[in-house]
Amino acid sequence: MGTRSARSIAQLPRNWKWLRTNSDALEQFSLPQPPTQPPARLRAMTDRRLLADKAANIWSSFQRNLEPLARGAQIVAAPDVTQDDIGGLASAKEEILTYAYAQTSPEVYGRWGTFPPSAMLMIGRRGSGKSLLAEYLAAQTETAFVRVDVPRMVLDVIHGAPKIGELVQGWSAALEEMPPVTIFFDELEFTRAHEMGERGAELPTGPIMDFLFELIDRSLSIEGCLVIASTSHSGTLPEAFLSPGRFERIVEVNPLFPDDIEEALRIHALAAESRAERPIFGELDWSAIVNNTREPSIGDWIRILHAVLRRKARLDAAGESPEQVTQSDFSAEISRFRQANTRIRTDGGNYL
């Protein structure tokens, strides 16, 4: 072993001379050096993922400390709703993009001698797409999305009144610590919400309104926090929500019949086929289907579509071989919807 080592050392000068002579030839065999930093797009994706994780962790900690009061507010850390996910509603989507610049390019407003709106209020019947538009705003601004189910939170507050102060303080602390976030107050007119039923008229409206104003005003005071809200009962909404510094921009969400509904159905039909990984709809005349009735909202129509698919799934599970979805499948489900609606008001469903 010692002799082999001595021989290797003795050969070094000769090998070194060869390496110097042939260094140019060896360069072509050199291994590529790793990049000093990842590509910009990868860095951006990584940064957004880190911010999303941070937002989710902070909000989860807030909810754990105030259960059940915080159950009325849920977070989507990295919303991914795109314009193509929303059928129609062109005017409302344009308003959302305009408000988005308050987060992404606030200096643009200054160049035109104005200011971004403090907050935006969407009005429209239940199931018209307001919640989806709010999440679209968060996706456009690459912020976390917190949806506050106002009627649910009101009920929780009523049952946990001693913790209201703790909830308000925790709300501010959580938002101040979080990365930029979009807060969506869903259904400000809580007394008319279908969840309340007959209890709405018996609620201590004054103290609850003060509580809501406190949450809204604290959210508006935090830099990087976008605030948007909705109501299906604009006619009875207290004017205090529309006072200067609160919801200054009002946007009507009113789907055009039948075009917006047809577009929404096509979007959800394509999504269903993507999940099924096969064609499940036959040749359909969406216009004829939609023009069959003007009663359902977009949310109702999406529920009808999924009801048709679930009926097919039941037949499949029973060992039958159901065919692709046809016009008659929709006609039958629309009849069932109408019959059920005479007995119980669905109030618009949800635009998924």
Domains and CATH numbers, the chain: 44-252 (3.40.50.300), 259-341 (1.10.8)
**Can you tell me the distance from the alpha carbon of 108 to that of 220, in angstroms, rounded to the nearest whole number?**
20
What phi and psi, each to the nearest 5 degrees, are found at residue 223? -65, 140
Going by C-alpha positions, the residue among 289, 299, 274, 230 that lies closest to residue 87 is 299
Planar angle of CA 100, 258, 312, nearest 5 degrees: 100
Helix, coil or strand: residue 106: coil
119 touches 183 (CB < 8 A): no
**Can you tell me the distance from the alpha carbon of 176 to that of 194, in angstroms, rounded to the nearest whole number?**
33
| DSSP structural state of residue 155 | H
102 touches 271 (CB < 8 A): no
Residue 58 token pair? 């902070």
Q: What pLDDT score does 42 carry?
A: 54
Q: What pLDDT score does 115 carry?
A: 87
**Can you tell me the distance from the alpha carbon of 272 to that of 111, in angstroms, rounded to the nearest whole number?**
45
What's at 90, amino acid-wise?
A
pTM for the model: 0.79
pLDDT of the chain, 352 residues: tens digit per residue: 444 444 444 444 444 444 445 555 444 544 455 555 555 555 566 788 899 999 999 998 888 877 656 678 899 999 999 999 999 999 999 999 999 988 888 898 889 999 888 999 999 998 999 999 999 999 999 999 999 999 988 888 777 655 788 888 889 999 999 999 999 999 999 887 666 656 656 677 888 899 999 999 999 999 989 999 999 999 999 999 999 999 999 999 999 999 999 999 999 999 999 999 999 999 999 999 999 888 899 999 999 999 999 999 999 999 999 999 999 999 999 999 988 877 665 555 554 4
